[in-house]
Structure 1
């Protein structure tokens, strides 16, 4: 099983940034509800501590407080965030089992979805706005780009 000890500090920071960065990409896609959406990141981490089962990698990730990179704009969040997600998956594909890679992708995408669903857009009947759905599609594509 792959865990934190299998990565350099720089590699671990890249992996640790992935899920909350995906949440930020979803959050920055649409205005409104940002407090609830920000809270959703913390909530999904807390729930993940209980749900992630035997995965040492995900266990180490959710036990380690995520560090967030600061971004200057929504465009920067998307461009840099999606690039970093691709890099994280490429790293995992070199060092982790296929199941661990899949678990990381699932967890990261789940964070983004739960953030997007944290509030109901005024102009949308659906819980997720078109902009947020677009962001989630980009996140999914980045996670599966390799």
Structure 2
């Protein structure tokens, strides 16, 4: 099983960023207002909490989430995300996020093949949880909206393809 020592600092930062990027791609696909954004962000955080407490969670996933839980890991992820997305227009966020998922997939396949499938499945689950967190469209408070928009479904499919799932 792979851990932090199997990766360079840059590669580990990419893994630290990956759960947030998986959620960002879905959020960027179908913005659902401030309340929806908060719900979608919370869903991503809940998925991380579930990952660290789950008995059957892959050790590499646990290592990433544990490191992210500390201030050094969070800072590395935050700084990496700023560098990656700072100059981006909202329309570019999804494209860049999907490209990052491709990079994560290639990295896992190369350096952690035994852990790759489970790690990628966790990223896909984070994407799905994010999409399901807020009702899309509809009127006041999302009444009449849909749980997962067509744009979000398409983005989850793109993430799945990028991860080679």
TM-score (norm 2): 0.80
Q: SS where residue 18 of structure 1 aligns?
A: helix
Q: Deviations over 1:84-126 (max 9, x none)?
A: 111111111111133x100111000111110111011233654
Q: 1:29 matched to which residue of 2?
A: 29
Contact 1:41 1:111 in 2 (8 A): yes
Q: SS where residue 35 of structure 1 aligns?
A: helix
Q: Structure 1: 5+ residue runs without aligned partners?
A: none
Q: 1:31–1:55: structure 2 CA closer, same or farther, 3 Å change rule?
A: closer
- Structure ranking higher in helix proportion: 2
Offset at 1:52? 5.6
Q: 1:5 matched to which residue of 2?
A: 5
TM-score (norm 1): 0.89
Matched, 1:130 2:153: no
Contact 1:40 1:118 in 2 (8 A): yes
Q: 1:101 matched to which residue of 2?
A: 116
Offset at 1:22? 1.1
Q: Structure 2: 5+ residue runs without aligned partners?
A: 69-73, 139-143
Between 1:118-127 and 1:131-140, the stretch displaced more is 118-127
Matched, 1:74 2:90: yes
Matches within 5 A, 1:111-122: 111-122=126-137
Offset at 1:19? 1.8
Q: 1:111–1:54: structure 2 CA closer, same or farther, 3 Å change rule?
A: closer
Q: Deviations over 1:49-88 (max 9, x none)?
A: 1126362211111112252413333332122111111111
CA–CA distance in structure 2, aligned partners of residues 74 and 133 of structure 1: 19
How many pairs does the alignment contain? Answer: 144
